[in-house]
Protein backbone atom coordinates (compact mmCIF):
# COMPACT_ATOMS: atom_id res chain seq x y z
CA UNK A 1 0.00 0.00 0.00
CA UNK A 2 2.93 2.36 0.55
CA UNK A 3 4.09 1.82 -3.06
CA UNK A 4 0.80 1.32 -4.90
CA UNK A 5 2.26 1.49 -8.41
CA UNK A 6 5.03 -1.04 -7.82
CA UNK A 7 5.00 -4.77 -8.53
CA UNK A 8 6.61 -7.38 -6.30
CA UNK A 9 7.23 -11.09 -6.73
CA UNK A 10 6.69 -13.59 -3.92
CA UNK A 11 10.32 -14.08 -2.82
CA UNK A 12 10.87 -10.33 -2.84
CA UNK A 13 7.91 -9.91 -0.50
CA UNK A 14 9.07 -12.70 1.82
CA UNK A 15 12.50 -11.04 2.12
CA UNK A 16 10.95 -7.66 2.92
CA UNK A 17 8.61 -8.96 5.62
CA UNK A 18 10.68 -11.93 6.89
CA UNK A 19 7.87 -14.47 6.64
CA UNK A 20 7.56 -18.05 5.39
CA UNK A 21 7.11 -18.26 1.61
CA UNK A 22 4.12 -20.63 1.82
CA UNK A 23 2.30 -18.31 4.23
CA UNK A 24 3.01 -15.34 1.98
CA UNK A 25 1.76 -17.21 -1.12
CA UNK A 26 -1.44 -18.18 0.69
CA UNK A 27 -2.15 -14.62 1.87
CA UNK A 28 -1.31 -13.12 -1.53
CA UNK A 29 -3.75 -15.56 -3.10
CA UNK A 30 -6.43 -14.60 -0.56
CA UNK A 31 -5.87 -10.88 -1.24
CA UNK A 32 -6.01 -11.51 -4.98
CA UNK A 33 -9.26 -13.49 -4.61
CA UNK A 34 -10.65 -10.59 -2.58
CA UNK A 35 -9.70 -8.15 -5.35
CA UNK A 36 -7.17 -6.05 -3.43
CA UNK A 37 -4.24 -7.42 -5.45
CA UNK A 38 -3.80 -8.25 -9.12
CA UNK A 39 -1.05 -10.44 -10.51
CA UNK A 40 0.73 -11.17 -13.75
CA UNK A 41 3.19 -13.84 -14.78
CA UNK A 42 6.53 -13.00 -16.35
CA UNK A 43 8.52 -16.12 -17.07
CA UNK A 44 8.35 -18.26 -13.96
CA UNK A 45 7.75 -15.28 -11.64
CA UNK A 46 4.35 -14.07 -10.50
CA UNK A 47 4.21 -10.34 -9.80
CA UNK A 48 1.64 -8.75 -7.50
CA UNK A 49 0.52 -5.15 -7.25
CA UNK A 50 -2.25 -3.28 -5.48
CA UNK A 51 -5.50 -2.96 -7.42
CA UNK A 52 -6.22 0.78 -7.18
CA UNK A 53 -9.78 0.22 -8.39
CA UNK A 54 -10.58 -2.09 -5.45
CA UNK A 55 -13.69 -0.69 -3.79
CA UNK A 56 -11.96 -0.21 -0.40
CA UNK A 57 -8.63 1.00 -1.78
CA UNK A 58 -8.99 4.67 -0.74
CA UNK A 59 -9.97 3.78 2.82
CA UNK A 60 -7.21 1.16 3.18
CA UNK A 61 -4.59 3.50 1.73
CA UNK A 62 -5.59 6.25 4.16
CA UNK A 63 -5.49 3.85 7.14
CA UNK A 64 -2.07 2.45 6.19
CA UNK A 65 -0.61 5.90 5.65
CA UNK A 66 -1.84 7.09 9.04
CA UNK A 67 -0.97 3.99 11.06
CA UNK A 68 2.13 2.48 9.46
CA UNK A 69 3.32 4.93 6.88
CA UNK A 70 4.87 8.31 6.56
CA UNK A 71 2.11 10.10 8.48
CA UNK A 72 2.74 8.01 11.59
CA UNK A 73 6.48 8.66 11.47
CA UNK A 74 5.95 12.39 10.98
CA UNK A 75 3.38 12.64 13.77
CA UNK A 76 5.76 10.91 16.19
CA UNK A 77 8.27 13.75 15.64
CA UNK A 78 6.13 16.90 15.41
CA UNK A 79 6.15 17.81 19.12
CA UNK A 80 9.93 18.26 18.97
CA UNK A 81 9.67 20.74 16.09
CA UNK A 82 7.95 23.58 17.94
CA UNK A 83 4.47 25.09 18.21
CA UNK A 84 2.75 23.68 15.13
CA UNK A 85 -0.93 24.17 14.37
CA UNK A 86 -1.11 22.46 10.97
CA UNK A 87 0.85 19.66 9.30
CA UNK A 88 -0.19 17.66 6.27
CA UNK A 89 1.27 15.61 3.45
CA UNK A 90 0.40 16.74 -0.05
CA UNK A 91 1.56 15.84 -3.54
CA UNK A 92 1.94 12.33 -4.95
CA UNK A 93 1.72 10.56 -1.58
CA UNK A 94 -1.54 12.24 -0.68
CA UNK A 95 -3.02 11.75 -4.15
CA UNK A 96 -2.08 8.05 -4.10
CA UNK A 97 0.20 8.42 -7.12
CA UNK A 98 3.48 7.77 -5.32
CA UNK A 99 6.02 5.37 -6.76
CA UNK A 100 9.17 3.98 -5.17
CA UNK A 101 11.08 7.07 -6.35
CA UNK A 102 8.52 9.70 -5.28
CA UNK A 103 9.49 12.32 -2.77
CA UNK A 104 7.31 13.30 0.18
CA UNK A 105 5.93 16.83 0.44
CA UNK A 106 4.91 18.19 3.84
CA UNK A 107 3.34 21.51 4.76
CA UNK A 108 3.76 23.01 8.24
CA UNK A 109 2.19 26.07 9.86
CA UNK A 110 3.51 27.42 13.15
CA UNK A 111 6.70 28.37 14.94
CA UNK A 112 9.19 25.69 13.96
CA UNK A 113 12.72 24.92 15.13
CA UNK A 114 14.13 24.35 11.66
CA UNK A 115 17.39 22.81 12.93
CA UNK A 116 15.48 20.10 14.81
CA UNK A 117 13.09 19.64 11.88
CA UNK A 118 15.95 19.19 9.40
CA UNK A 119 17.74 16.71 11.68
CA UNK A 120 14.57 14.63 12.08
CA UNK A 121 13.66 14.80 8.39
CA UNK A 122 17.18 13.68 7.42
CA UNK A 123 16.75 10.68 9.71
CA UNK A 124 13.31 9.94 8.23
CA UNK A 125 14.71 10.25 4.70
CA UNK A 126 17.27 7.56 5.48
CA UNK A 127 14.65 5.34 7.13
CA UNK A 128 12.17 5.71 4.24
CA UNK A 129 14.75 5.93 1.43
CA UNK A 130 12.87 8.98 0.13
CA UNK A 131 13.56 12.68 -0.14
CA UNK A 132 11.31 14.84 2.05
CA UNK A 133 10.48 18.39 0.95
CA UNK A 134 8.79 20.83 3.28
CA UNK A 135 7.14 24.23 3.36
CA UNK A 136 7.06 26.16 6.66
CA UNK A 137 4.88 29.21 7.21
CA UNK A 138 4.20 31.12 10.40
CA UNK A 139 0.53 31.44 11.32
CA UNK A 140 0.62 35.06 10.13
CA UNK A 141 2.27 34.20 6.80
CA UNK A 142 -0.25 31.41 6.23
CA UNK A 143 -3.24 33.70 6.89
CA UNK A 144 -1.76 36.46 4.71
CA UNK A 145 -1.21 34.07 1.80
CA UNK A 146 -4.77 32.77 2.08
CA UNK A 147 -6.20 36.29 2.22
CA UNK A 148 -4.11 37.33 -0.80
CA UNK A 149 -5.13 34.24 -2.82
CA UNK A 150 -1.52 33.11 -3.18
CA UNK A 151 -1.49 30.71 -6.20
CA UNK A 152 0.87 28.19 -4.58
CA UNK A 153 -1.17 28.01 -1.38
CA UNK A 154 -4.44 27.82 -3.33
CA UNK A 155 -3.10 24.87 -5.32
CA UNK A 156 -1.86 23.02 -2.23
CA UNK A 157 -5.16 23.59 -0.42
CA UNK A 158 -7.08 22.30 -3.44
CA UNK A 159 -5.04 19.06 -3.63
CA UNK A 160 -5.70 15.89 -1.66
CA UNK A 161 -4.03 15.86 1.74
CA UNK A 162 -3.18 13.45 4.52
CA UNK A 163 -3.79 15.43 7.69
CA UNK A 164 -1.31 14.89 10.50
CA UNK A 165 -2.01 17.82 12.84
CA UNK A 166 -4.87 20.30 12.78
CA UNK A 167 -7.84 20.66 10.52
CA UNK A 168 -8.43 22.50 7.29
CA UNK A 169 -10.76 25.44 7.78
CA UNK A 170 -10.12 26.82 4.30
CA UNK A 171 -11.47 25.14 1.18
For residue range 129-171, what is the model confidence (pLDDT) as tens digits? 789 999 999 999 999 999 999 999 999 999 999 899 988 764 4
Average pLDDT, the chain: 88
Q: How far apart are CA 36 and CA 167, in angstroms?
A: 30
Bridge partners for 163 per DSSP: 88
Class of domain 57-165: alpha beta
Strand-pairing partners, residue 134, are 106
pTM: 0.67
pLDDT, one tens digit per residue, over 114-137 is 999 999 999 888 887 789 999 999
Q: Parallel, antiparallel, or unpaired: how do β-strands 162-165 and 45-50 relate?
A: unpaired
Tell whether the model's pLDDT for residue 106 goes beyond 70: yes
Domain boundary assignment for the chain: 8-50, 57-165
Residues 6+ apart with CB under 8 A from 138: 109, 110, 111
Quick: pLDDT tens for 54-104: 999 888 877 776 656 777 788 888 889 999 999 999 998 888 787 777 889
Amino acid sequence: MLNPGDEFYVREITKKIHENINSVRRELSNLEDMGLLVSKKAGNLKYYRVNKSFYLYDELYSMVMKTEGVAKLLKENTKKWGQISLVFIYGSFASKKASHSSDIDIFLVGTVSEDVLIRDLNSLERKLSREINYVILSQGEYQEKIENDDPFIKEILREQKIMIIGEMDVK
